[in-house]
Homo-oligomer: A and B are copies of this chain.
């Protein structure tokens, strides 16, 4: 689950990001409106947490552009001002939910969950593949009926792979799913995770495509 966080306040941004990470989200964080708009155009996210008071391009403006372009992405707006007019403007511009600062992080999490649930309003179908069942809701995986305990990165990796069987996912693409685009990893961590998955499930599950990446065969 990939989230774009747009927040210029460094302390708050860091706070939100660290709060969200353990939930299993991959958080990419930008600090101004222009970059955000740009990133939204180029990359794909599942959700955006958007502060309104931003340098270079106001959050409201970003939101309006996004909606004008017909982008359906769920957006959670953060606003420091609790002036009613502000909020109304936000919702008018196409926000799906808003939160007034200061807020409780727990509430943010809860609302994000709700938002995601609503937006993927089908209850996020569990992925099934050759005896493996992966449920995004509960972040649980089972193999032939028995629970398999996966670590967070392992889960993300498996999710990514199972979501597109029959396609090679480049190393890079996978790394992006596990890490944001900062925090790049400088080692063979990916290989290690793959190894762990193969061990916990079964080795043939993940096929390596030499020089390119990994894939799961079509069912």
Of A104, A176, A181, A218, chain B has the most CB atoms within 10 Å of the CB of A181
Check if A166 sits within 8 Å of B137, measured CB to CB.
Answer: yes
Residue A167 at the chain B interface, CB threshold 8 Å: yes
The distance in angstroms between the C-alpha atoms of A113 and B177, with both chains bound, is 14
**Which single residue of chain B is at the shortest CB-CB distance from A107?**
B181
The distance in angstroms between the C-alpha atoms of A114 and B114, with both chains bound, is 29
Min CB gap A86→B, angstroms: 13
Binding-face segment, A5-13, A62-70, A189-197, A208-216: A208-216
Check if B211 sits within 8 Å of A97, measured CB to CB.
Answer: no
Q: Which residues of B contact A211 (CB under 8 A)?
A: 24, 152
Q: Which residues of B contact A209 (CB under 8 A)?
A: 138-139
Check if B212 sits within 8 Å of A110, measured CB to CB.
Answer: no
With A23-B170, A181-B104 as contacts: A42 and B212 at CB distance below 8 Å = no
Residue A43 at the chain B interface, CB threshold 8 Å: yes
Stoichiometry, copies per complex: 2
Q: Which residues of B contact A166 (CB under 8 A)?
A: 137-138
Residue A14 at the chain B interface, CB threshold 8 Å: no
The distance in angstroms between the C-alpha atoms of A43 and B97, with both chains bound, is 12
Residue A92 at the chain B interface, CB threshold 8 Å: no
Interface residues of A (CB under 8 A from B): 22-24, 38, 42-43, 97, 104-107, 109-111, 113-115, 137-139, 151-152, 166-168, 170-173, 175-176, 181-182, 184, 209-212, 215, 218
What are 12 A-B contacts with C-beta separation under 8 Å?
Answer: A23-B170, A23-B172, A24-B212, A42-B97, A42-B111, A106-B182, A107-B181, A113-B172, A138-B166, A139-B209, A151-B210, A152-B210
Give 11 A-B pairs besides A106-B172, A110-B172, A138-B168 with Cβ atoms closer than 8 angstroms. Answer: A23-B170, A23-B172, A43-B110, A43-B114, A104-B184, A106-B176, A106-B181, A138-B209, A138-B218, A139-B209, A152-B212
